[in-house]
Structure 1
Amino acid sequence: MTPPAHPDDHPAPDGDGSPGPRAHDSRPHGHHSHGQHSHGQHSHGHHAHGPGGTEPDWEALAEHLEREAELGVPFLEAAAAWLHDLLGPREVTRVLDLGSGPGVSTTALAHAFPGAETVAVDSARGLLERARARAAREGLASRVTTREAELPDGLTDLGTAELVWTSNVVHHLGDQRAALETFAGALRPGGVLAVRERGLPARFLPRDIGIGRPGLQARLDAVEEDRFSAMRAELPGHRRVVEDWPALLVAAGLAPTGSRSFLTDLPAPLDPVARTHVRDRLQRSRDNLADSLDAEDLATLDVLLDDASPDGILRRPDVFFLTATTVHTAVRA
């Protein structure tokens, strides 16, 4: 699927969406292509990738993606307000959320631009269904529409907009530079492209948690990076580029207007929803990385995932959630 702003492939709350030129109004879809996808509201971290660096089943992760994105609502609202300021007095009548996932980013953008039609674009039907339901709950059904499309090719059927937002989508496309050029082509003159990519990996435990070898999360990050690189290398049309996002935006024919990082800081003790989210992240790490971790780290993960243990994620008092998400912007002359 179009990678949703799903689990922030390096999440923002760990936070909160594909090939072929096809786009269908308001019809969610159920599978996603390995080479091009968009994912929208899921901030997903590299932790989302499956065994061997394969792409995850975004539909199966729908609940996780929505919960993750909801943890990052303050970030999304702050980013949307920043984009509103960047566009200044310009009238914004249309916003494209490429890789919208379950629509958490879509509704944040719709609230920030009340005069615009905001379009959730994803290749996963189940996620688009969630986006429509969310828009209805927030009183935005008349201004939020959904389009099923595989990115980047499907973008040609979606029309243009004054603002194009894409969250953790570009790194799922083999040729990232070409993808940005395609996204830039959807901008109206004076329009802004906002690209959410990278930032800082989430932290949710102290360096020394009293069991196993200190530094568990740093080691998990290192393995995740290798898996992520393996995933990218297998994408159709993969081309390695220096991931200097402002420079890539210049290469796409745009003028950079700044990059900002937004902090998501949920201190200990975490509430039950955020705590469950952290546990789910660790469970996926345990499932996906088992072949790459030593016996001691696997044993430590098993303790953390033991819901009856006082050292488990659901019971220990020191669990927090901290991450930074970076958004890069550029304007079309």
Structure 2
Amino acid sequence: MTPHPNGPDGAHGHGHGHTHGHGHGGDPAGAEPDWEALAEHLEREAELGVPFLEEAAAWLHDLTGSREVTRVLDLGSGPGVSTTALAHAFPGAETVAVDSAPGLLERARARAAREGLASRITTRSAELPDDVPDLGTAELIWTSNVVHHLGDQRAALGTFAEALRPGGVLAVRERGLPTRYLPRDIGLGRPGLQARLDAAEEDWFTAMRAELPGHTRTVEDWPALLVAAGLTPTGSRTFLTDHQAPLDPVARAHVRGRLERFRTGLADTLDADDLATLDTLLDDTSPEGVLRRPDVFFLTATTVHTAVRT
């Protein structure tokens, strides 16, 4: 599994045995991204969200209260940015990065070593949700933008819940608000480009889900789905990631990568005017391109839903 970004930009989340990112460059509608190829993008996006991950991990630590946490599973860990945040928050636990992409697990191991966590972080190759029973149990399970890449979301959550020890907490990161990085009117083409990209991405997302093995349409009421999995909801929280303009070069490069995947993955969906606007934004020599214009920012809101096994 790989948590990844969603939509054609690879931005919705991460995934399953293999997973998260929606519609990326050149993929036909409904196709799953090549997570190994998106490794750098996934890691860079996760790093932009480190403050959110640290805040969420601290919240989960408070949520577990006096309960001893000795094992944490990060299902769909991708390059391990979330894994290390969890390991820092739960110093007494073995934290396991679980993914199906070998290259992403290697990045997770390298990150753990850089942060002095190699002795407490392990990696496991697994397809989600089928291999979850082989992973053993844990007091805390974190999964980020993975469930929406699984055909039967309700059944997948049930499988994840079964891996919880009594009193254990399942934390599910799913959706939130679309990422914003440009003003509504950027002085190019028709105003409202990002809203149209959002609409095209939602259509891509629907097509992607419809083609997943075992696809079952589900009302995405996450607290209710956690109840259906036999758990008791313990609250949902939304976290803000806010990198204000002018962006640093790394964040700018990430925004450019998102736009490039939109330009490729949605070429058959967007009109000529919007495609021309994207071409200008992707022109690295133009003062109106995202690498040079002063008004580029990165703003998103991410929601985490939690529930306990009583």
TM-score over 0.5 (shorter chain)? yes
Q: CA deviation at 1:84?
A: 0.2
* From 48, 61, 66, the counterpart of 2:43: 66
Q: CA deviation at 1:51?
A: 2.6
- In structure 2, distance between residues paired with 1:83 and 1:90: 11
- Determine helix, strand or coil for the equivalent of 1:290: coil
In structure 1, stretches of 5+ residues that fail to align are 19-35
- Residue 24 of structure 1 corresponds to none
- In structure 2, distance between residues paired with 1:53 and 1:301: 22
* From 213, 218, 233, the counterpart of 2:190: 213
**1:232 maps to 2:209:** yes
* From 76, 79, 103, the counterpart of 2:80: 103
- Residue 6 of structure 1 corresponds to 4
**Identity between Structure 1 and Structure 2 (%):** 81
Q: Contact 1:204/1:322 (CA < 8 Å) preserved in 2?
A: yes
* From 214, 239, 248, the counterpart of 1:262: 239
Paired residues in the alignment total 309
Structure 1 residues 16, 144: closer, same or farther in 2, change over 3 A? Answer: farther
- In structure 2, distance between residues paired with 1:98 and 1:165: 6
State the TM-score, normalizing by the size of structure 2: 0.96
State the TM-score, normalizing by the size of structure 1: 0.90
Q: CA deviation at 1:37?
A: 2.5
Q: Contact 2:64/2:169 (CA < 8 Å) preserved in 1?
A: yes
- Residue 17 of structure 2 corresponds to 37
- In structure 1, distance between residues paired with 2:5 and 2:13: 7
- In structure 1, distance between residues paired with 2:6 and 2:168: 25
- In structure 1, distance between residues paired with 2:6 and 2:95: 21
Q: Contact 2:241/2:301 (CA < 8 Å) preserved in 1?
A: yes
RMSD: 1.8
* From 55, 68, 79, the counterpart of 2:32: 55
- In structure 1, distance between residues paired with 2:42 and 2:35: 8
- Residue 187 of structure 1 corresponds to 164
- Residue 153 of structure 1 corresponds to 130
Pairing 1:152-171 to 2, within 5 Å after superposition: 152-171=129-148
- Determine helix, strand or coil for the equivalent of 1:319: coil
Q: CA deviation at 1:45?
A: 5.2
In structure 2, stretches of 5+ residues that fail to align are none
Q: CA deviation at 1:14?
A: 5.8
- Residue 92 of structure 1 corresponds to 69
- In structure 2, distance between residues paired with 1:172 and 1:48: 14
**1:318 maps to 2:295:** yes
- In structure 2, distance between residues paired with 1:216 and 1:249: 35
- Residue 22 of structure 1 corresponds to none
